[in-house]
Structure 1
Amino acid sequence: MNKIIVYEHPDLNGLRKEFTADVPDLHSVDFGDCISSLKVIGQPWLVFRDTNYKGPCYAYEEGEHKHIFLNNQPSSLQLVTEDLEYPQITLYEYTNYEGARKVITEETNLTYGYFNDKASSHIVQKGAWILYDDENRGGWFYIAREGTKIPNYGPEFKFRSKCSHVYPLKGGKPVITAKILWDHKKVESERAIVIDEINGINTTDFEQTFTSINSRVYEATTSHSFQFKVLNYPIDKKFNLSIDPRTNLTVEKGSLDSTVTVDKVEVTVPARIPPHSELIVQVIMKLVTASAPVELIITKNGKAKTEIGEYRSVSGRHISTKYIVKPVEKKN
């Protein structure tokens, strides 16, 4: 959810209020002219000195802002609702969108190129931008929203033919929910391996007790991995993949190094060996390789996109025993 939390004092201290929608007049909610710090979750917010989104304005992106401009002055707040994923702005050399032009899709310091101090008009195709009259985000600035067309910067812009830096506002981190579709689980292979063997020999005419051990404990391991089938949407945020109540994996930047969980399994050994017999107890682990699709819902700025990945496991949790009894010759 897009949210702004505003605080009465610097360093996120004092009285606080939370907002998820535009506030044209902070005085109406008893919080005007008192904000000194704030926290943004999701999309950026614009903070205005005057009511009804007027006067000097500053943009704040996701994160904690322990000190702000317009300290103790903000009177209105506005959420940036534009899709900020693929920003684009076109700067024109002359007024009325004439002369040479420059299409920009990322933060650009114009002093490094040939379009520094040339722009006199612009059109914002996508996103929301901050235009600065000095390099490195310095000097006077103007916030340009998607769909706006400014045909003539004029005196009120203070930087006609002086624009030197442009910066696209960044959206907040996406919210990712991951769900393993167990109904579509597929067992790819199964194989049994002997992990231990216990032997006992009884050469007498009487049934004897297996004196070596009554039970043993083994570690049953399961390796887990995750990968995307096709990644259509860039993901730079960690998310959790819940395997079972005990296993919760973290996927970072779309990949998960193989992770192993360990279970303790106790195997009980028969207590008796028949007369003139050798008892062989084989401890067998069944390795099962299985996979299941993973549905990821990625929500950003109220828009949801779906990606499909694959969870894979190689499990040795199932451990059993096989008993083999062989006759032995009687001793004379």
Structure 2
Amino acid sequence: MGRRVIIFFEDRNFQGRSYECSSECPDLSSFFRRCKFIRVESGNWILYEHPIHRGEYPDIQQWMGYNDSISSCHLSPQHQGSFRIRIYERKDFRGQKMEFTEDCPHIYERFLNHDIHSIHVQDGYWMFYEEPNYRGHQYYLRPGEYRRYTE
């Protein structure tokens, strides 16, 4: 696996002070005051629970819906293989269930129950959003069992 790199810029159009990061960084505040632009050279990154893939993001305030305060970053693990997750309407994997193997922009259109209280991530890493079409707060789920919403 090659080197993974993300670069943060303080000013618009990739100008001003910059900070290049190639590993997780729990506190970026000592490297820059604000972040206006991001360039992902390689790897998958999570900023404020958002996954970031290779590319340029010229207006992160509009894209992310946040201000220019980024305080940490996390490398998202690379996954080779299938993706599979089961959601359940009740805690401890009870009640109505549904399995997903690909992105779904609006779960409640397919899973007619509006309560999800437990999840079993069988393969891959998943990002859950509070609102349809990948909006709102996100929850990053690694493979494993989540028996209650609070987990």
**TM-score range normalised by the length of the shorter chain:** 0.7 to 0.9
| Structure 1 residues 270-304: Cα deviation after superposition (integer angstroms, max 9, x where no partner) | xxxxxxxxxxxxxxxxxxxxxxxxxxxxxxxxxxx
Aligned partners of 1:124 and 1:144 also within 8 Å: no
Task: Give the letter aligned to residue 60 of structure 1.
Answer: I
- Find out whether 1:13 has 2:5 as its counterpart: no
Aligned to 2:34: 34
Instruction: Write out aligned runs for 1:40-55 (5 A).
Output: 40-48=40-48
Instruction: Rate the CA distance shift 1:84–1:13 in 2: closer, same or farther, 3 A.
Output: farther
Q: Partners in 2 of 1:41 and 1:21 — Cα distance?
A: 13
Aligned to 1:121: 118
Aligned to 1:146: 142
Deviating runs (4+, > 6 A) in structure 1?
A: none
Q: Partners in 2 of 1:123 and 1:41 — Cα distance?
A: 32
| Structure 1 residues 163-203: Cα deviation after superposition (integer angstroms, max 9, x where no partner) | xxxxxxxxxxxxxxxxxxxxxxxxxxxxxxxxxxxxxxxxx
| Backbone CA RMSD of aligned residues | 2.3
Aligned to 1:171: none
- Find out whether 1:65 has 2:57 as its counterpart: yes
Q: Partners in 2 of 1:82 and 1:116 — Cα distance?
A: 32
Instruction: Write out aligned runs for 1:165-314 (5 A).
Output: none
- Structure 1 unaligned residues grouped into runs of 5+: 49-56, 158-332
**Residue identity (%):** 24
| Structure 1 residues 116-139: Cα deviation after superposition (integer angstroms, max 9, x where no partner) | 52322112222222212322223x
Instruction: Rate the CA distance shift 1:74–1:114 in 2: closer, same or farther, 3 A.
Output: closer
Aligned partners of 1:82 and 1:146 also within 8 Å: no
Instruction: Rate the CA distance shift 1:116–1:141 in 2: closer, same or farther, 3 A.
Output: farther
Give the 3-state SS of the residue equivalent to 2:133 in structure 1. Answer: coil
Higher radius of gyration, 1 or 2:
1
Aligned partners of 2:4 and 2:22 also within 8 Å: yes
| Structure 1 residues 245-283: Cα deviation after superposition (integer angstroms, max 9, x where no partner) | xxxxxxxxxxxxxxxxxxxxxxxxxxxxxxxxxxxxxxx
* Larger strand fraction of residues: 1
Task: Give the letter aligned to residue 133 of structure 1.
Answer: E
Q: Partners in 2 of 1:61 and 1:74 — Cα distance?
A: 17
Among residues 118, 131, 134, which one is paired with 2:131 in the alignment? 134
Aligned partners of 1:44 and 1:59 also within 8 Å: yes
Aligned partners of 1:39 and 1:63 also within 8 Å: yes
- Find out whether 1:86 has 2:82 as its counterpart: yes
Pairwise CA distance, 1:47:
1.4
* Larger helix fraction of residues: 2
Q: Partners in 2 of 1:151 and 1:134 — Cα distance?
A: 22
Q: Partners in 2 of 1:37 and 1:116 — Cα distance?
A: 39
Q: Partners in 2 of 1:71 and 1:12 — Cα distance?
A: 17
